[in-house]
Amino acid sequence: MNFLLALLLMLAVPWSGSAASPAANHENFLHCLSTSPAANVSKIVFYTPANPSYPSVLQFSIHNLRFNTSAAPKPIVIVTPQTTSHIQAAISCSHKHRLHLRVRGGGHDYEGLSYVASRPFFILDLINLSSVKVDVAARTAWIQAGATIGELYYQIGTQTTTLAFPAGVCPTVGVGGHFSGGGYGLSLRKFGLAADHIVDAHLVDVKGKVHNRASMGEDLFWAIRGGGGNTFGVVTAWKVNLLPVPENVTVFTVTKTIQQNATGIINRWQQVADRFPDDLFIRVILDRTETTTNSTATGRASFNSLYLGQVQSLLPLLQRDFPELGVEREDLIELTWIRSILYFAGYPTDSPLEVLRSRVPLTRKRNFKAKSDYVTEPMSERALEGIWRRILRPDIEDPELIFSPYGGRMSEIPESSIPFPHRAGTRYKIQHLVYWEREGREATDRHVDWIRELYGYLAPHVSKNPRLAYVNYRDLDVGSNNGAGFTSNEEARVWGVKYFKGNYERLVRVKTAVDPRNFFRNEQSVPPLTAWK
């Protein structure tokens, strides 16, 4: 055994008593990596529990502290590829030594599926594949799958003021998972989803072969644009079209408490938000605050808006179509599109654009649980009052609901265009969230039970048969595959139709064609028609 290989295997030995003991499969996996003809071993970087950097590398991209505990399963190895050949080597060695693979981009999976598994596994962490190349003249960008949407925004914003991309508001989110589930932001009513504007991709398949759009075929290219991550292969890069925006856009946030008729204004918002001109997006964030008079808790609705136009045209539109909100000239801020990204991310709008490149979130990491719903008809004020009662429960640390309007371009794109199906007929989407800092089982159970009870309460007021959900707001409560990987198509359909509606069956056909033995899998990945061991 040569010196370098001996050194690698020495670092592979975990701490005494760890569940990841130095079993043959992981030593053989490391040996396979180090000797693979598909990669140069001197350039493969990986971490085992014996490596002092292992905890920091593992935890850096964990954004839900609910899965950053001593009891959470840990990977035997974290591989951080720097080239496509490293990914090919990892896939090949995973096959040979039956070590389960999880792919991590930004680490924002709501249920931790990119870095937690119930069987021995390794993480393929794409953090080093993070370059973004913008072509302003062609109005396109190539984005490596480990990049964040903040990096994408930075590269666009430093090169042009009149092109944009319709992705999310959180700059630390990885493009890999974001695009794989559809991905949306505050310009979805104008442009649709991020995945609606993907025009090419590079993917490593189950056999280690590298594809672009032409070689993978249109069925697989369709599936990876919204069919969920870690299912069909490892996407290493995406090509997207950039979209024109005005030199200046307008933003505002207006808050109303229950005492200021928040309930009635939300009720009116339900009637008009999906019918505004498609340049206008107004979402509503429901949480709680203290009253100014006696410091008691009350419900607060924050009307948070992006308008792809100037103040002079927005103000009369709001006064005509949504006077109940009471927006005044001093509420409106006109700025460039890239500065609006800073605004919605929570940064001062005069911050240097470099802050968008940071992978460290602006707010502290916490425990959280999330759910999602789609609303087709306005709920009553009485139903809204029931939401407020739950938000005001004093033993729940930080509850929040976000209502995001649809309509506009979202209603024009056919629901079979990509796997994401939630289009015409949707008034708005609800994201249910609850955050907490207190550690321990009791606190976790209390907050998870709270959001499940809220979810049950809302059942009469949201979509039905099936009750729909958004795959990027991952929620194992709506259904889960067998963790051992033997899930049948019938079992997976329980959750699959909630995320994908009628597109689920096509996703299964694609999966069966490209990964019939279900190598790429997690608790909510689309399985092939036949379950394999």
Q: CA dist 499 to 33, 354, 368, 494, 512, Å? A: 36, 35, 21, 10, 19
Q: What residues contact 447, with CB distance under 8 A and at least 6 apart?
A: 367, 369, 396, 397, 434, 436
* Strand ranges in 59-174 using DSSP code E only, listed in sequence order: 77-79, 100-104, 121-125, 132-135, 140-144, 163-164
Spatial CA neighbour of 406 closest among 390, 425, 386, 428: 428
> Which tokens is 528 given?
């092939």
Angle at 409 between CA 504 and CA 333, to 5 degrees: 125
Instruction: State the angle between helix axes of 381-391 and 262-272 in degrees (0 to 180), rounded to the nearest 10.
Output: 130
Spatial CA neighbour of 431 closest among 386, 399, 409: 399
Residue 114, φ and ψ in degrees, nearest 5: -85, -5
> Which tokens is 163 given?
């092109």
- What does DSSP assign to residue 395? T
Q: What residues contact 346, with CB distance under 8 A and at least 6 apart?
A: 362, 363
Whether the link from the prior residue into 166 is cis, omega within 30° of 0, is no
Tell the burial category of 397 from Cβ atoms under 10 Å away from its Cβ (0-12, 13-18, 19+): middle
Whether the link from the prior residue into 323 is cis, omega within 30° of 0, is no
Place of tokens 């103040």: 311
Tally of residues, the chain: 533
Q: Which amino acid is at 25?
A: N
H or E element that contains 85? helix 84-97
Contact 101, 33 (CB under 8 A): no
Spatial CA neighbour of 165 closest among 249, 238, 226, 243: 243
For the chain, what is the largest distance between any 2 Cα atoms, rounded to a whole number of angstroms?
78
Paired sense of beta strands 77-79 and 121-125, if any: parallel
473 is known as an active-site residue: yes
Query: Of the listed 406, 473, 499, 504, which one is catalytic?
Result: 473
Contact 227, 419 (CB under 8 A): yes
Q: By three-state DSSP, how is residue 79 classified?
A: strand
Report how far residue 245's alpha carbon sits from residue 164's, in angstroms, rounded to the nearest whole number: 6
- What does DSSP assign to residue 425? T
> Which tokens is 335 given?
């700025």
Place of tokens 């069909």: 232
Alpha-helical runs (H) found in 434-488: 441-457
Catalytic residues: 473
